[in-house]
Structure 1
């Protein structure tokens, strides 16, 4: 049996599908590809590859089917589980300063064997038997830390509340993410009131108006200079639907985005 025989499954507490990552999780690609982005760089994971996606980060990924199929394994390392794990298995916490959300891991035979070991516990409905879920999560984390000791800092040494950081640099790097103002405030180490106050001082605009304008300016560039299509860019620029994007674009520039592409 190959590792790719595992069907898509999820182990651990459910986490929100939004572009803010509330808990660390392990992501394994069984079939297909995943293209990820975290504001710093683009990533591609192919069949048999895996990574850690870190909490308190902005990240999004799009799946690409392979021969009509896509399968993945997601195993969540939430704070409660990690606290319990650390009490049982104290580990050294080396320095880890990377700002990236995706921690790509080298391929290792132990991980392939672990993925195969999930099959007997797999219900066929995307879940592993709850009686064994924490045991399998513990087993996986022991393997990961044995092969990649530097992961300990990424998983155990991060703060519950981010430090206060440079607002201008952060927003210019992450304006494309479709998350709430409250999330942006949290990630920059501010209360919502101090975020709005600092934002006004920095950008001389409200967060909502600035985000819309910044996204539309980027859209205009992609349409007019890169010949991209509205349907291919609106989600990646933080708009929830194509009709809202088209309406906002016409109100800003006086023409429909499709007209700009046709010129």
Structure 2
């Protein structure tokens, strides 16, 4: 896979994938503001699936699980400018702005397609990626500009950006039933449900009477079967959208569970 990344600072990068596609299951530790230059991304979350293309600008809130699939398109690479809005920068910004923390709102992805102010702000970063010596305050000023624009165009954004709380202990069964398709380390699932790894495994065994890995595999296979049989999706799409890392492993596990390969079920439909 040909991947290149250029940085102004660790919080602002120009990302470029030139291979057929790149897939990853991710939990975002920080808010991410993304501007699409070319290519296409599919983001699969528990409650929605998004497709972003050239010109799209969107903000992904932190502590959200997602499957990210990046594709080149129309002969062009998958190319984006990514800006991380870290907790430290946001605390500093809102302290100076004298804005109190807002009531947290839904942590959905916020979309700003072709918004001229945001596009102008992010496009102005492009020349800096090829410079050797960049003034230290440039990145900070650009991030402050982006936050200010977000606040001007999105009345709900303060509720997202001023939410500095860490995940508290929540109902394990409800959370896992909603998020099992994301291929995360058990430590991440523990963190997002407000538990240590040891407590997560203990509570999981008590709730489901099996190990997390066995339960997750079973749930993912059941979801894959539903997508193939009822939604008529392609095996390759189902594989990556239900938490499997590669097509061969998915096909093997699926045939072992159901007695026939995903391609056989797809052909029947």
Structure 1-normalised TM-score? 0.83
RMSD across aligned C-alpha pairs, in angstroms? 2.8
Q: After superposition, where does 1:210-221 map in structure 2 within 5 Å?
A: 210-221=215-226
Q: 2:83 aligns with which of 75, 82, 101?
A: 75
Q: Contact 1:27/1:52 (CA < 8 Å) preserved in 2?
A: yes
Q: Does 1:261 align with 2:266?
A: yes
CA distance in 1 between partners of 2:130 and 2:195 (Å): 43
- Residue 53 of structure 1 and its aligned partner are, at CA, apart by 0.7
Gaps of 5+ in 2: 14-23
**Aligned length in residues:** 252
Q: After superposition, where does 1:1-263 map in structure 2 within 5 Å?
A: 12-13=9-10, 18-69=25-76, 70-100=78-108, 102-105=109-112, 108-123=115-130, 129=134, 131=136, 132-159=138-165, 161-263=166-268
Q: Contact 1:75/1:137 (CA < 8 Å) preserved in 2?
A: yes
- Give the corresponding residue for 2:19: none
Deviation string for 1:15-41 (max 9, x for gaps)?
9x6411111110112234332222111
CA distance in 1 between partners of 2:80 and 2:207 (Å): 42
Q: Contact 1:122/1:129 (CA < 8 Å) preserved in 2?
A: no
**SS class of match (2:240):** coil
Distance of aligned partners of 1:107 and 1:84 in 2 relative to their CA distance in 1, 3 Å threshold: same
Give the structure with the higher percent strand: 2
Distance of aligned partners of 1:143 and 1:128 in 2 relative to their CA distance in 1, 3 Å threshold: farther
Gaps of 5+ in 1: 1-6
Q: Contact 2:31/2:61 (CA < 8 Å) preserved in 1?
A: yes
Which has the larger displacement, 238-247 or 149-158? 149-158
Q: Contact 2:173/2:207 (CA < 8 Å) preserved in 1?
A: yes
Structure 2-normalised TM-score? 0.81
